[in-house]
Structure 1
Amino acid sequence: MDEILIYSDSLTWGIIPSTRKRFPYNKRWPGVFDRTLKELGINVRVIENCLNGRRTVWSDPFKSGRDGSEHLAQTIEMHSPLKLVIILLGSNDFQCTHNNNAWLSAQGMVKLINTIRNAPIEPDMPVPQIMVVAPPKIIKPKGAIANKFANAEKRGLGLAHELEVVAKEHSVFYFDSNTVTSASEIDGIHLDAAQHQVLGGAIAHEVKQRIFYKPS
């Protein structure tokens, strides 16, 4: 059995837009991803490590532990051996507490890639493959998160492209979630139930093709 770690934020944690509630595992995209891979004949264990508010490399001034680069190496060490690490981060880099643009956020992703590759795993364990997933483009934030993400839809423009450039430069797999879904119209950031279904299935098929493909 191969193990896949998903390292992400509230979008993957499964927050229900405009609430503080959470979709159950079988309704959020990691659960759909898990089920779809098994239906495709791939025996995997999916490990979720998803924290609300997690950035790539920046801290939250109000909540501790939101710098995604902190403890990432130990997380890889903890769960090794891993076949694959999927990183879906970036949206929180555009909270109002940061004056970031898409290029800066993508440079944060570079640090995460390098951290994974240099994690202190046991000598006989493989360095996991990495897939960077670009989050859905932020649309005008609404509701309770509107102030927190004020103008994020402008500052985050071009993130998918910058992440694709980083993925190519650092030889990791890349998937753009914008090719299959958009952000929720309810809050402009997260995913609705149907969008989780679509994204989880799409990433599963991508992983099967890119990671587990066996030519006949």
Structure 2
Amino acid sequence: MLKNVLVYSDSLTWGIVPGTRQRLDFDQRWPGVLENGLILDEHHVRVVEDCLNGRRTVLEDPFKAGRNGQEGLAQTIEKHSPLALVIIMLGNNDLQSMHTHTAWHVAQGIASLIDEVRNAPIEPGMPQPPILVVCPPVIQSPKGPIADKFVGAEEKAVGLAREMRNVAATKEVHFFDAATVTSTSPVDGVHLDADQHFALGRALVDVVDPILARDF
């Protein structure tokens, strides 16, 4: 049976090339690296991306509509079900300069998204998918055109992995800290270069492999 994995994320996963408005190819983005690695491990799998630049957890962007990640998430789960796994990697945009949120607030947003996934109106008999929360790499010295947007983000992000790990433990979902295998790009301090996508995708193969084998 084909196993569908949904990735729900933002521009870090959409694959924006740091310092540009260009996009990496699917095989270069970490979901593509993950899919290819799982296939090599003999999983019959498809990784489906739902990634929107600027997406928050549960916040609105005052300048651009549709960036509240909670809105429509349940229907996204419904559309793509049955799902073998949902991967959520969000949080950095909650730390933009127009928000006053801390790492704790971001983690509470993730908790709300977990609840949305679990309460999605999937068809009777379809499995409730396991969830993997991926904490994005730490923002460092934002540069270039996005610098003003992320002023102060480094300070607000302190403790983000710890807070997300706590939420994941409380909600009994899987957790991975992307900062353990990669940093953000030195070009803009927020997004990922191609080699960083590759490092994250390869690391997640080892995380996702046993989840698919055990939970679906």
Question: What TM-score does the superposition give when structure 2 sets the normalisation length?
Answer: 0.97
Contact between 1:140 and 1:151, CA under 8 Å: does it hold in 2?
A: no
Which residue in 1 is equivalent to 2:111?
110
1:76 aligns with 2:74: no
Identity of aligned residues (%): 55
**One-letter amino acid of the structure 2 residue matched with residue 77 of structure 1:** E
Which residue in 1 is equivalent to 2:63?
62
5 Å matches for 1:87-126?
87-126=88-127
Which residue in 1 is equivalent to 2:143?
142
Which residue in 2 is equivalent to 1:12?
13
1:153 aligns with 2:141: no
Distance 1:211 1:167 in 2: 18
**One-letter amino acid of the structure 2 residue matched with residue 110 of structure 1:** A
Which residue in 1 is equivalent to 2:166?
165
**One-letter amino acid of the structure 1 residue matched with residue 102 of structure 2:** N
Which residue in 2 is equivalent to 1:38?
39
Distance 1:126 1:210 in 2: 14
Note the alpha carbon deviations across 1:40-83, whole angstroms, 9 max, x for none: 11110110000000000001011111000000000000111001
Structure 1: where are the runs of 5+ without partners? none
Question: What TM-score does the superposition give when structure 1 sets the normalisation length?
Answer: 0.97
1:204 deviates by 1.3
In the alignment of these two chains, the number of paired residues is 214
**One-letter amino acid of the structure 2 residue matched with residue 192 of structure 1:** D
Contact between 1:95 and 1:152, CA under 8 Å: does it hold in 2?
A: yes
1:211 deviates by 3.2
Distance 2:129 2:186 in 1: 35
Distance 1:116 1:213 in 2: 19
1:147 deviates by 0.2
Distance 2:56 2:177 in 1: 18
Q: Which shifted more, 22-31 or 202-211? A: 202-211
Distance 1:25 1:201 in 2: 14
Which residue in 2 is equivalent to 1:131?
132
**One-letter amino acid of the structure 2 residue matched with residue 122 of structure 1:** E
Distance 2:211 2:116 in 1: 22
Note the alpha carbon deviations across 1:101-136, whole angstroms, 9 max, x for none: 000000000100000000001111011110000000
Contact between 1:36 and 1:201, CA under 8 Å: does it hold in 2?
A: yes
Which residue in 2 is equivalent to 1:49?
50
1:213 deviates by 5.4
Structure 2: where are the runs of 5+ without partners? none
Distance 1:158 1:183 in 2: 16
What do you get for the CA RMSD once the two structures are aligned? 1.0
**One-letter amino acid of the structure 2 residue matched with residue 9 of structure 1:** D
Distance 1:75 1:157 in 2: 31
* Structure 1 residue ranges, 4+ long, deviating more than 4 angstroms after superposition: none
